[in-house]
Chain A
């Protein structure tokens, strides 16, 4: 046990229970030594559920001397203060997405991590999908052609329901569906295409967290320029996925961990090609949270860089802020078109 990497998990809510704790327990060479949550009963319940022994505490400060790295899985508006406390003590941090609620908070975290020379990673877990890395390589190499337009959508009737219900509190999340759901795609989009040169954004918020979003992005680099659209919903089901038209065909990637990249070449529309890496990735590609945990531990040991660094998390926050700053209202009130007829 002495040689194992000691993980502390802050936040005993649903994502901690269903993703980070199982990942930490499954990660080779690591052990969970601390579980932190203001609700100690919840910590004890999780320890019983997973049959483990670990220190429990109501605040992270109590366990900082007993962990080699901390996973922060708490409401978004608490990320910065908890992370800064860890980083100031020289403890590496993996923060659930988004990095923080504001760019200022995020920059402070990045600055502190750099000052202490410790890892600050962001939990954009979908980056660990094999298809996401491969898509990046395909776009960079131009294998499927030059992009002309893309669309992305993700919509559910309701969905993820954290124990605290903080998800409906705009103050706690920093927004609505854009932050809760869309930030994963924004991270991937930034990874694939870089920062857009222009953007437009509309949502249906009437003071609370927006439930529906349509955003458009323009990209321009040299002679290549193209646009993309992102549609997000928490009120209607939208089949989730990414589709990109290029000058050589159409590329599809459904939004799931196992989905393959499909390519329909323009020169022969009868074909649909599955694009995959060869040989299959050797690591735990089936569980992205486990892959994320392995990456974090290896980064803390100096064996690699974190898949998503704090600096990249700040870039995501910057784009979030820009989108909200140019917000326009989306048509949402159908009652006004439902007047009496005749």
Chain B
């Protein structure tokens, strides 16, 4: 029996993949995790979990020794996104791994993605330093190792749905709180892939004939819109009003204002560096830097109030700056997702992998709703009490 190592097995996709593969019974599974904290979904099975830090080639080698194929669902810290993947693939080559399936993301195409990113050949343009940019660097590394002799498939999913989907839960909670606006009535494409469909694509990728190390979109089959998604979540709305429709221009304004606020907060990067406890310790120990901060603070009286408040917070050593969004309360993130306005195509997945999504959108949503009812008590006799513990209760009443 083929032994498959699944890195990142405790994550949402990784654990769902392990559970699906166990149900198929066609592979010997080796789930590989980083730490035990998030591994409960698998641990409940009483199965052995292997542990490895992608930063350590020795640990990676030890974990995948004897495995025939590898699936990489790991989402390590930013500093390990590239070097950790390189470690993993170098070990794969030395251990003679026969197939490497890497999970990328449509985020590599940027926000918003180019209109021609219906197919994979479009030019990726994720901004440097973003999650999408790191995933893009990973894709390039995988392709490079593919040509070095590690037969690889890069699967490129959009947001992932299914039971316990973090994305669906976020959309649902935003919807309930009144923070979800439907851009142009929700007519734009909503790219989703059910975790079962993604697992099926992984299985296809492990056995397909001609891996080429290039990205392959894996999307649900039907052309789902944001309106469809809201309709699918409506039975869980808990009394929330149907989301308002806003124009593309209004949505762009919501996103623009959010980006402007992030830019105002002293270029994000500076904030992160100054916010680190180590940085504060260093600066506090230096009379020169303390004096410099004093000067910065004096300058703040000439700055606009919002910027001055942020600078003052930084010089006083607070690690977090509270962002106050003064817009209409719509989620900039979900506005931006609707402004993508492109539907990625699974044509290549069908041709190259033989991908056929096992479940359709309506079934996917039905399963999500059923899961939500069981795990959150929605619709039970307790819900009238439970709902008051949720953030949306105050808004809905």
Chain A residues within CB distance 8 Å of chain B: 149-151, 153, 157-162, 165, 167-168, 170, 176-177, 204-212, 214, 229, 231, 233-241, 243-245, 250, 252, 254, 330-335, 337-342
Contacts and interface: CB of A to CB of B under 8 A. Distances in A.
B10 interface: yes
Given A160-B37, A209-B40, A338 B45 contact: no
B389 A239 contact: yes
A244 B390 CA distance: 15
Q: Top 6 closest A-B pairs, CB basis? A: A207-B46, A161-B37, A158-B38, A208-B46, A234-B40, A211-B40
Interface stretch (B68-76, B77-85, B274-282, B370-378): B370-378
Contacts of A204: 44
6 contacts: A168-B36, A206-B45, A254-B389, A330-B374, A338-B367, A339-B358
B269 interface: no
Interface string B343-367: 0000000000000001110010001
Contacts of B360: 341-342
B49 interface: yes
Interface in B142-166: 162-164, 166
B386 A243 contact: yes
Contact of A250 (B19, B44, B385): B385
A340 B359 contact: yes
Contacts of B51: 165
B257 interface: no
A177 B40 contact: yes
A335 B20 contact: yes
B43 interface: yes
A151 B367 contact: no
Contacts of B375: 212, 231, 233, 236, 238
Which of A235, A240, A252 neighbours the largest number of chain B CB atoms within 10 Å of its CB? A235
A135 B363 CA distance: 44
Given A177-B40, A208-B43, A243 B377 contact: no
Given A231-B377, A239-B389, A245-B385, 17 more contacts: A151-B386, A157-B166, A159-B37, A168-B36, A168-B40, A205-B46, A207-B45, A211-B44, A235-B41, A239-B391, A240-B389, A243-B389, A254-B389, A330-B374, A334-B371, A338-B363, A338-B367
Nearest to A242: B389
Contact of A165 (B23, B35, B162, B166): B35
Contacts of A332: 44
A78 B224 CA distance: 54
B297 to A, nearest CB: 30
A244 B384 CA distance: 11
B43 A211 contact: yes
Nearest to B38: A158
Contacts of A162: 36
Interface in B250-264: none
Contact of B39 (A158, A245, A341): A158
B63 interface: no
Which of A162, A170, A234 neighbours the largest number of chain B CB atoms within 10 Å of its CB? A234
A337 B365 CA distance: 12
Nearest to A231: B377
Contacts of A252: 388-389
A238 B37 CA distance: 17
A338 B41 contact: no
Contacts of B367: 334, 337-338
A168 B48 CA distance: 10
